[in-house]
Amino acid sequence: MNKPSLAIAGLTACSGCQLTLLNCEGELQEILERFQVAYFPMGQSDPDRQARYDLALVEGAVSTPGDLATLFHFRNASRLLVAFGTCALFGGIAAQHNRTTPRPKLLEAVYGNGESRPESFPPAPFKNFVSVDAGITGCPPEKGELLQLLGAVLAGTLPAFPHYPVCLECRSRETLCLLLERNQLCLGPVIQAGCNARCPATGIPCEGCRGPVAEANVAQELELLLERGFSREEIERRMSRFTVEWDYGQRR
Amino acid sequence: MGSVVEVNPLSRVEGHGSVKVYLEGGRAERVELCLTESPRLFEALLRGRSYAEVPEIVCRICSLCSTVHKVAALRAVEDAFKLTVSRTTQLTRELILHGGQLQSHALHLYCLLLPDLLEVKGVADLAREAPDLLKTGLKLKQVGNLIQEELGGRLIHPVNITLGGLGRRTSRDTLQRLADGIEEILPSCLQALQLFRRSLPFPPLPTPHYLALATAPHSFTGEEFQLDALPGMPVSRYREVVSEWTVPHSHAKSARVAGMVPTVGALARLNLSQAALPGEEPLREALVEVQGQDIRANALAQAIELCRSALAARLLVEELLEHDPADTGRPPHLTPAAGSGTAAYEAPRGVLIHSYSFDASGSCTAADVITPTSLNHLALEENLWALAQALDGSEPALLTGSLERLVRCFDPCISCAVHLVQL
Amino acid sequence: MTAQALEPYLPFAATLVERRELSPDTALFRVAPEPAARSALSGFLPGQFMQLSVPGAGEVPISPADLPGADGTLELCVRRVGQVTTLLHQARPGQPLGLRGPFGTGFPVEEMTGCPVVLLAGGLGIAPLRSLLLHLVRNRERYGEVTLMYGAREPALMLFREELVGLAAAHGLRLYLTVDFAPEQAAGEYACAVGLLPDLLKGFRFDAGQSYTAVCGPPPLYRCLIGELTAAGVAPDRVLLSLERRMRCGIGRCCHCAIGTKLCCTDGPVFRLSELAGIPEAL
Amino acid sequence: MENSAYLAQESLQQFLDTLGGFGTLHAPTWSESGVSLFAPVRSLDEIDLGYRRTQIPPKKYLFPFRDTFLEYREGHYRFPDGTSPATVLFGVHACDLEAIAYLDLVFLSEPRDPRYAERRAKLLLVGISCTPDEYCFCSEPQGSARCDLFLEAREGGFRVHAGTAAGAAMLGAASELLQEADAAPSGRAPSCLIPAQDPARAYSRDPLWDEFARRCVGCGACSACCPTCYCFDVRETPGLSGDGSRVREWDNCLFPSHGAVAGGNFRPTRLDRLRYRFLHKYCGFSPLEGRSSCVGCGRCKELCPVDIDLRELVAMPRGETEQP
Ligand SMILES: Cc1cc2nc3c(=O)[nH]c(=O)nc-3n(C[C@H](O)[C@H](O)[C@H](O)COP(=O)(O)OP(=O)(O)OC[C@H]3O[C@@H](n4cnc5c(N)ncnc54)[C@H](O)[C@@H]3O)c2cc1C
Ligand code: SF4
Ligand code: SF4
Ligand code: SF4
């Protein structure tokens, strides 16, 4: 069998998604054996920019003209483009102020008005610019889901990730519900599971790092939290930490 | 006519960057290090966020050092609120930082640097050409990560270490498993000393001005900086000694400390601190070897720290196992108050400073993060310049290859370098 | 004993033998089960379904388009819509597959003997009805008049057209083919009417009192056709509907396929209209 | 040995030690974070004898949240190796026992579910009397025959009754700890099942339906924690080396994916899904049509973040129960 060629790249991000690949210590050697690594500057010199890729894992949000060019390059050069991580899927941590503060203001706060101010626009997810074939959510993504994706691609298909909220995994682990029992600002009911409720399982409310679950009842979550005394402003701030594009009236 | 030789992108480093050498009549005229990572403007992200959110957000500056960013941010917030944490919490934080250092050094040494020693292009080649060495490195990394994941609840951007305490105390069973894991890798750590003793075939480079924190044994934090032989400077007054500015060609900032060009990281730490751990006799020779060396010895210094972290982690696990079961590390209830706080930590790559101010409602009014890579920025440029001059007239391929290797010696973390935060 | 009898979840081994394109997104797959599994398939009724596994992607319910052949092979007519079906469409002959079944109720072919039968197929609904049709044709003398009305979106998507026309000629079937729209009639193609199945049914005269009707097609089709059939006077227990739902296990456990309090996999997929009375969600 | 005996409270620890000889002892206890759960225990003081309800019911022993039930290699499927350990589940309330009896009907009817059957055969059930609280909606049953042993609370101890041969064997092993049974058992234990409902109610126009559909956050707690909910989803997970596994996992009728197919959804709205839940709980799915599967444990009511109690739709008075 031909080895599928693999590209791993990053846009505006913390490199956590790429690091997640390197964190698959037990499987990394097998991965490197089964794929032909064509582009992976973080781990391999002389990346091949001319190649065509069977699979491109691209992390990060799109926030500069350079990012956009890179994204288009990988879209055009790849059979399967995977939005790798929450930033790529939802904009992520860097996009949290998109709705509240204009970009130039943010830039000015860091770089002043000098010439060294980099060109940049509000960080946006891939789907605003190109079509993607699959996504792995999470900030950082789960190793297990990355491995599932790689296995599925080798098998000629894409992984079947579940689409339900964090609460299911949280309950199944028999942990205390922080929303009901501790009146904490837990976003579990509206967030995509797959992390096995990492945070609630350690006693920390879900901060929503995996983005919205399909057809979330956002309006009801909002009501639940308002009832518990959180201000609308605080709730929205928390919800927008990883995803700005919430429809707070959605009940679907 | 002038021409430019470029290394773009810098590979096998974390983040996006490039090096440009401007040649004039075949001679190196100028070297520019451009850290081109897209900025995420963390300062603006933090403005108006509550004290509780600051560490959660700011740890996303960088995945590789997310643990130490998180701990530093927590400490800075706690400092602002004059909060002390329980012994369990302290020990857990120290242990997870050693996990972080193990994982980071193992990654850098075995996946990013080793290909240079073996003259191959990267980790994929290693899997073919040196699978056993790679496997050893990955095993070390795995144990570091196991510590991070078990204690932090998540491998990157840990959740269990929180303001004033812990989500929950690590169970005895888990600690026992960690102890077993650490025991297993101790021999490999010692082997790393031999492996990374080989230095790169460069001409000698400028002697660094080492900068590190004065820390207690197996701790990562301290109240004072040490810069070469200069007397201690208190962390709380870091602004008086650190001067930072932006440079036109790079998204990162450069810094001087007390007017000097500092070098931070493993090499600096080992040159400045003498604190030894029990059981570290086998390290002595290597420790002597890195004294007074230029940045090429950073790899050996990291290997030494790999051993130290494993030894320290073993001690910490034991201490945690024996420590008072009543101390669960449960965080106290916090009432926000106006204040400012600063904390400095030794990240794997060197000194890291977090500093925040809050108003009476606990909302963040000022934030400042100085990362090791910005502290190293000037030293790195100086070294590049020195190397470019020494290699004057060489083939461009040799020149760029050598420059790239030099960059790797510093183990720069570009994504954090450009996310400096200052309000 | 076959593996099937032992373990309801364990697919028996099967191999892809041959594949034939039927339309741009649909193909006919000939699948050979391991010899030990043949006895499990011997009682197969038209309208029953199999759970087909494509290793790597998973398992999907498929109603075979014909009864198992003498050599034990099955014909599966599958449209490429998602993960499993796409992987199947990429498979080459020799590809190992898995099969479980047959499951569910089939068409009551015994009860139907002596009666006229009207088959109404929309789109891919032809797959299970083809196995019924082939059964009727092979036992032609035991049934009354056989009619097939088959509607597709456009001529290119009409499956088995030549075969159906040939069968009609050889066995005296009444065959009505219709398409929602016809872009351009290419020379040499069989003519087919343009129009919707329910409209076609409106003008159709048949012995409604005696006839069994079998319907399979996309969900919206059922409601329109049932209106016409009951108006024509077909008894609700002679209106046979082959329904589709999400299915995971095929044996009444996973509960995805519930229709009211019935389970599509065990009480169906072939239901009588009379059984579905009082279940608003059924159709 | 009689099938019934008296066990004094003081002998309970020794009795538990004896039960431990029949399998790993699991019992109601508390998690570190304060959740009531069934978990392995070593001694009596870890057990909460007066517990109300565990968050996750005993179904987790028979039908775990995620279960790899097939593996494949080179395209051929097989069962994974390994068998489940013998387990003594101590301290199960009558409602949860009733629920297991219901699951038995589902999974042990032909064709038997091999994974369930294997685990069920290794699970010994020891029931115990309960004290209903405000969430319970059963009729306060004090006993149950749907277990191997039942411990009915008595002055200073328990009346222990063996319902199966395995139960009798446990009694036999503990004979030294037991005394002659006191009085007769306290009447026949009524069933916990709440009455079956007319499916037409699922399609009623009651405005409460819309209110529930508006509120439900779709968290899935009600089904995940229901002792008789057993919908499962199946996922195939290819590995890196051409092998793979097929996993089944608790599914949940409140999730949009439950009725989704390529190109559509048979239960597109939350209202459709709540109606489904009503039908499954109170009307029964074929072949158990006409049977309620609600044992009145009260979990869904207690754990729903938005206080949805589907029984309000039929205004069932508390204590109205059905005799099976
Ligand atoms: C009784 C029965 C008989 C069928 N017969 C045929 C046939 O002869 N030919 C044919 O092409 N198709 C048939 N189907 C439909 C076929 O099962 C689906 O097209 C198929 O499951 C899609 O799977 P997928 O993985 O390719 O699609 P995806 O969209 O990737 O599906 C994901 C999962 O959803 C479920 N799913 C999606 N669509 C359906 C569906 N329509 N019905 C049930 N589950 C679904 C499957 O479990 C699948 O694994 C039948 C369905 C049923 C219920
Ligand atoms: S803690 Fe959060 S995730 Fe867990 S059940 Fe409660 S709301 Fe859901
Ligand atoms: S619980 Fe929430 S914040 Fe935590 S890892 Fe899961 S999705 Fe992310
Ligand atoms: S527990 Fe309540 S909110 Fe959650 S799915 Fe069930 S009914 Fe909906």
The mean pLDDT value for A228-234 works out to 94
**Cis preceding linkage at A140, omega within 30:** yes
Q: Is B47 in Cβ contact with A12 (below 8 Å)?
A: no
D75 and D34 together in one domain: yes
CB-hemisphere CA count at 13 Å for C44? 30
Interface of A with D in 116-155 (CB under 8 A): 147-148, 150-152, 154-155
In a domain, D188, yes or no: no
Whether C201 contacts C119, CB under 8 Å: no
Q: How confident is the model at residue B249 (pLDDT cuts 50, 70, 90)?
A: low
A172 and A80 together in one domain: no
Order of strands across the sheet that contains C74-79: C58-62, C49-54, C96-103, C12-23, C26-33, C74-79
Residue of chain C whose Cα is closest to the Cα of A153:
C56
Range of the structural domain that residue A201 is part of: 166-239
Helix (H) or strand (E) holding A165: none
What's the confidence (pLDDT) of residue C71?
A: 85
Pocket of ligand 1 (CB under 6 A): C 49, 58, 60-63, 77-79, 81-85, 124, 127, 244-247, 269; D 261-262
Shortest CA gap D261–chain A (Å): 13
A72 and A149 together in one domain: yes
Judged by DSSP in three states, B414 sits in helix
Q: Domain B42-417: give its CATH architecture.
A: Orthogonal Bundle (1.10)
**Domain boundaries, given as residue ranges, for chain B:** 42-417
The mean pLDDT value for A230-242 works out to 93
Show residues of chain D in contact with A162, CB under 8 Å.
Answer: 233, 235, 249, 257
What's the confidence (pLDDT) of residue D32?
A: 86
CA nearest A15: which of B420, B46, B60?
Answer: B60
CA nearest D95: which of D288, D195, D283, D228?
Answer: D228
Q: How confident is the model at residue B423 (pLDDT cuts 50, 70, 90)?
A: very low
What is the whole-number distance in angstroms between the Cα of residue D218 and the centre of ligand 4?
Answer: 5
Tokens coding C4? 């099937």
Annotated binding-site positions of C: 249, 254, 257, 265
Whether B420 contacts B370, CB under 8 Å: yes
Q: Of C44, C51, C60, C259, which is best to mutate to test ligand 1, by the most ligand atoms within 8 angstroms of its C-beta?
A: C60
Q: Which chains touch A (3 or more CB pairs under 8 A)?
A: B, C, D
A185 and A150 together in one domain: no
Number of folded domains that form chain A: 2
What is the whole-number distance in angstroms between the Cα of residue D217 and the centre of ligand 4?
Answer: 6
Residue identifier of the C-alpha nearest atom 11 of ligand 1: C78
CA nearest B202: which of B142, B116, B281?
Answer: B116
DSSP conformational letter for B253 = E
In a domain, D19, yes or no: yes
Q: Is B246 in Cβ contact with A111 (below 8 Å)?
A: yes
Chain C contact probe: residue of A157, A161, A163 with most C CBs at under 10 A: A157
Whether A186 contacts A205, CB under 8 Å: yes
Q: Is D263 in Cβ contact with C246 (below 8 Å)?
A: no
Q: How confident is the model at residue D142 (pLDDT cuts 50, 70, 90)?
A: low
Tokens coding B208? 């660094």
Domain closes at, from A154, A189, A224: A154
What's the confidence (pLDDT) of residue D59?
A: 96
In a domain, A161, yes or no: no
Intervals of CATH 3.40.50.80 along chain C? 117-282
Judged by DSSP in three states, B416 sits in helix
Question: Could you tell me if C57 lies within 8 Å of chain A, comparing CB atoms?
Answer: yes
Q: Is the CB of D221 under 6 A from ligand 4?
A: yes
The CATH code for residues C12-103 is 2.40.30.10
Residue of chain A whose Cα is closest to the Cα of B124:
A32
Q: Count other Cβ atoms within 10 Å, centred on residue A124.
A: 22
Question: Which range (B24-33, B411-420, C12-21, D180-189) has the least confidence?
Answer: D180-189
Q: Is the CB of A244 under 6 A from ligand 2?
A: no
D139 and D219 together in one domain: no
Show residues of chain C in contact with A156, CB under 8 Å.
Answer: 56-57, 87, 90
Question: What is the full per-residue pLDDT of chain C (283 aa) written as tens digits?
Answer: 344 445 788 999 999 999 999 999 999 999 999 988 888 888 899 999 999 999 999 999 999 999 988 888 999 999 999 999 999 999 999 999 999 989 999 999 999 998 999 999 999 999 999 999 999 999 989 998 899 999 988 888 889 988 998 998 898 888 888 888 766 655 445 556 666 788 888 878 888 888 999 999 988 888 888 888 888 888 999 999 999 999 999 999 999 999 999 999 999 899 999 999 888 888 8
Residue of chain A whose Cα is closest to the Cα of B115:
A44
The C-alpha atoms of residue D276 and residue D203 are separated, in whole angstroms, by 10
In a domain, D57, yes or no: yes
Q: Write the DSSP assignment of B182-213 as a string of letters.
A: HHHHHHHHHHHHHHTTPPPS----PPPEEEEE
Q: C117-282 domain in CATH 3.40.50.80?
A: yes
Q: How confident is the model at residue B300 (pLDDT cuts 50, 70, 90)?
A: very high
The C-alpha atoms of residue D276 and residue C256 are separated, in whole angstroms, by 10
A223 and A199 together in one domain: yes
Kindly report the three-state secondary structure assignment for every residue of chain D: CCCEEEEEHHHHHHHHHHHHCCCEEEEEEECCCCCEEEEECCCHHHCCCCCCCCCCCCHHHHCCCEEEEEEEECCEEECCCCCCCCEEEEEECHHHHHHHHHHHHHHHCCCCCHHHHHHHHCEEEEEECCCCCCCCCCCCCCCCCCCCEEEEEECCEEEEEECCHHHHHHHHHCHHHEEECCCCCCCCCCCCCCCCCCHHHHHCCCHHHHHHHHHCCCCCHHHHCCCCCCCEEEEEEECCCCCEEEEEEECCCCCHHHHEECCEECCCCHHHHHHHHHHHHHHCCCCCCCCCCCCCCCHHHHHCCCCCCHHHHCCCCCCCCCCC
The C-alpha atoms of residue D247 and residue D237 are separated, in whole angstroms, by 8
D229 and D142 together in one domain: no
Looking at chain B, the whole-number percentage of residues with pLDDT higher than 70 is 96
Whether A140 contacts B155, CB under 8 Å: yes
In a domain, A19, yes or no: yes
In a domain, D279, yes or no: yes
Q: Is C87 in Cβ contact with A158 (below 8 Å)?
A: no
Chain A contact probe: residue of B11, B33, B63, B253 with most A CBs at under 10 A: B63
Angle at B370 between CA B367 and CA B372, to 5 degrees: 155
Residue of chain B whose Cα is closest to the Cα of A38:
B124
What's the confidence (pLDDT) of residue D316?
A: 52
A184 and A76 together in one domain: no
A29 and A117 together in one domain: yes
Q: Count other Cβ atoms within 10 Å, centred on residue D242.
A: 17
A109 and A49 together in one domain: yes
User: Can you say how many angstroms the Cα of residue B22 is from the centroid of all Cα atoms in its chain?
Assistant: 30
What is the whole-number distance in angstroms between the Cα of residue A221 and the centre of ligand 4?
Answer: 12
Q: How far is CA D191 from CA D124, D139, D144, in A?
A: 20, 8, 8
Number of folded domains that form chain D: 2
Q: Is the CB of A209 under 6 A from ligand 3?
A: yes
Sign of torsion over alpha carbons D211, D212, D216, D218:
negative
The C-alpha atoms of residue D85 and residue D123 are separated, in whole angstroms, by 9
B324: phi then psi, degrees, rounded to nearest 5:
-30, 115
Whether A213 contacts A244, CB under 8 Å: no
Q: Is the CB of A207 under 6 A from ligand 3?
A: yes
Ligand 1 nearest-atom number relative to CA C61: 17
What is the whole-number distance in angstroms between the Cα of residue D39 and the centre of ligand 2?
Answer: 21
D160 and D258 together in one domain: no
> Looking at residue A80, which CATH number applies to its domain?
3.40.50.700
CA nearest C109: which of C59, C48, C52, C30?
Answer: C48
Q: Is A155 in Cβ contact with C58 (below 8 Å)?
A: no
D164 and D231 together in one domain: no
What is the whole-number distance in angstroms between the Cα of residue B185 and the centre of ligand 2?
Answer: 38
A35 and A99 together in one domain: yes
CA nearest B102: which of B56, B152, B64?
Answer: B64
Q: How far is CA B329 from CA A200, B170, B320, B325, B326, in A?
A: 17, 10, 12, 10, 9
Residue of chain B whose Cα is closest to the Cα of A27:
B138
Domain closes at, from A154, A184, A207: A154
Range of the structural domain that residue D277 is part of: 199-313
Taking each helix axis from N to C end, the angle separating B131-152 and B172-195, rounded to the nearest 10 degrees, works out to 150
Which pLDDT tens digit goes with each residue over A92-128? Answer: 998 888 888 888 887 777 777 665 667 788 899 999 9
